[in-house]
Amino acid sequence: MTALPVDPCDATLVDIAKALADRKISSLEVTQATLARLNDRGRALNNVAGIDADDAEAQAKAADANLGDGPLAGVPLAHKDMFYRPGRLSECGSKVRAGFMPDVLSGALKKLDGAGALDVARLNMVEFALGVTGHNDITGAVRNPWNPAHVTGGSSSGSGSAVAARCVFGALGSDTGGSVRLPAACCGVVGMKVTQGRVSRFGAMPLSYTLDTVGPLTRTVTDNALMLSVLAGYDADDPSSADVVVDDYLGGIEDGVSGLKIGLPTSHFMDGMSAELAERFDAAVQVLKSAGAEIVDVDLPAEIRHANALTSMITASEGAALHQHWMETRPDDYGKQTFGRFGGGFLIPASRYIQALNLRTEMLAAFNALVFENVDVMMTPMMVVDVPKIADSDLGAGADAAALLTKVGHCSRPINFLGLPGLSVPSGFTKAGLPSSIQFVGKPFDEATLYRVARAYERETEWPTQAPDPAGWEAA
């Protein structure tokens, strides 16, 4: 372990957990530093939905008095405002759920509690998690730490912003069409969209029962693997979680890519990509090639081009069913784009919705035969467009908004449709100073190999050592 930085918040999750376990720093010190960052940087970037400082300090004192041997003992974390904890607000970035106090504990929080983590704040999010840019008419846009005039990506906007700004060591997000990976990509952090069923969704706000997943955002790949080690596994409270053995994500993470085959898709994922992002992607491929990976082209099923639209169709249909009563009785309490997108769900015939669901099986089987019978991991860009400006992408519910959402979700949504794991990893910065990113896509339940490949890339590039500069935030 390296020496702790002056402000403990600048340490990685792995290092702070080790320092706490070794009693080199107290949980109270780390928690107070975290609260200071959330109150200062977090408020400046609008990534905080709520903080209860007294409760956070009480958790920290209890941890110091009786530090368990859990892998996250005494570590303060904060999460997207949609993971239920009894007696604490969970407002889901909305006016409709303002004041909502759940009476159940989410499966994900239960696992983190069991590992000794503290839960010190609620983080802002896109209204009801429906949106890939990060806009929110109710709470206002969360700001990107690398340039606050730009979006954070969504819907786990506060999680991406808070982790990148080094307010917190890690945060939970949810990913239905890219909502963990896109904020990770826009904010230059690591985000894991897990295999469908890998992490419990019990007690997490629903958007689409078919596509919702829960996953971590962290600054480094190893931090992410540590968090998922805690989160992954079957939960009897969530019968849709899978009873599949959880790999040791940290055990092989430094094994490198020698002997692994990485596939580059010959269609869809690079369509419409800017020249600069294409160059950055090629550079990332070369890094892995130099590190010993075998790089090969892989063909995809032609139908993959429809996976983005099919994902939106399923989300809109299921979301409309979840929200219909409130939309009818409280229409003015919804933001324009949220209402517009859920409203689109009322126009989708039930028969088409069910056919879209059926297509997941056929497309996964075809994708597996073409890709994973030939390579270990597929590598794609995470986004084909630059991180948009907030002002340029505040498009409400018009046709322009639909087009932008389609572009931003171009590489993320097909992976949700297929139910596969996808890991978003920073790949440096564009000339404009905004993050670029790559995505590794794996076989079902093979998150371990994604971490291994991503760590090999990260080790060669060390992007996580760069930090955003808070100096310009006030001006924006």
Partner 1 sequence: MRDETDPIRVWLKKTKSIDLGDRQIIDSQRTGQPIGEIVSEAGGGQVFDTEPARFYRLIQDLAPKRASS
Nearer to partner 1, 308 or 436 (CB): 308
For residue 213, give the H/E element and its range: none
Task: Please pick, among 27, 80, 200, 437, the residue that the annotation labels catalytic.
Answer: 80
Rule CB under 8 A: choose which of 20, 82, 310, 384 binds partner 1: 310
Task: Please pick, among 90, 94, 106, 155, the residue that the annotation labels catalytic.
Answer: 155
Which strands make up the sheet holding 261-265, listed edge to edge? 170-174, 214-218, 190-193, 422-429, 435-442, 377-381, 261-265, 294-298
Minimum CB separation from partner 1 for residue 136, in Å? 17
Rule CB under 8 A: choose which of 107, 116, 131, 197 binds partner 1: 197
User: Which residues does 384 contact at the CB level (< 8 Å), separation at least 6?
Assistant: 269, 270, 271, 272, 273, 274, 277, 407, 410, 411
Rule CB under 8 A: choose which of 244, 250, 264, 291 binds partner 1: 244
Q: Residue 26: which of 80, 66, 83 has the closest Cα?
A: 66
Nearer to partner 1, 142 or 327 (CB): 327
CA separation for the pair 304, 420 (Å, rounded): 13
According to the binding rule CB under 8 A, does residue 178 interact with partner 1?
no
According to the binding rule CB under 8 A, does residue 263 interact with partner 1?
no
For the chain, the residue count is: 476
Nearer to partner 1, 109 or 453 (CB): 453
Nearer to partner 1, 250 or 348 (CB): 348
User: Which residues does 91 contact at the CB level (< 8 Å), separation at least 6?
Assistant: 49, 50, 81, 97, 98, 99, 100, 122
Minimum CB separation from partner 1 for residue 399, in Å? 5
CA separation for the pair 375, 210 (Å, rounded): 27
Residues 409-468 that bind partner 1 (CB under 8 A): 419, 443-446
Rule CB under 8 A: choose which of 271, 358, 432, 469 binds partner 1: 358
Here the tokens at position 450 are: 């994604």
179 annotated active-site? yes
Nearer to partner 1, 65 or 347 (CB): 347
Count residues near partner 1 (CB under 8 A).
Answer: 60
Nearer to partner 1, 381 or 444 (CB): 444
According to the binding rule CB under 8 A, does residue 267 interact with partner 1?
no
Task: Give Cα 86 to chain centroid, integer Å.
Answer: 24
C-alpha pair distances (Å), 239 with each of 90, 107, 205, 207, 242: 23, 12, 16, 17, 8
Q: Examine residue 155 and say whether the peptide bond preceding it is cis (omega within 30 degrees of 0).
A: yes
According to the binding rule CB under 8 A, does residue 372 interact with partner 1?
yes
Task: Please pick, among 174, 179, 393, 424, the residue that the annotation labels catalytic.
Answer: 179
**At 107, is the secondary structure helix, strand, or coil?**
helix
336 annotated active-site? no
Stretch that binds partner 1, among 211-219, 281-289, 312-320, 386-394 (CB under 8 A): 312-320
289 annotated active-site? no
Concatenate the DSSP letters of all residues of 264-289 into one string.
EESSSTTTT--HHHHHHHHHHHHHHH
According to the binding rule CB under 8 A, does residue 401 interact with partner 1?
yes
Could you tell me whether strands 118-123 and 48-51 are parallel, antiparallel, or unpaired per DSSP bridges?
Answer: antiparallel
In Å, the largest CA–CA distance within the chain is: 60
Rule CB under 8 A: choose which of 397, 407, 459, 467 binds partner 1: 397
Nearer to partner 1, 368 or 430 (CB): 368
Positions marked catalytic: 80, 155, 179
Binding site for partner 1 (CB under 8 A): 195-197, 240, 242-247, 303, 306-307, 309-310, 312-313, 316, 327-328, 331, 336-337, 339-341, 343-344, 346-349, 352, 354-365, 368, 372, 396-399, 401-403, 406, 419, 443-446
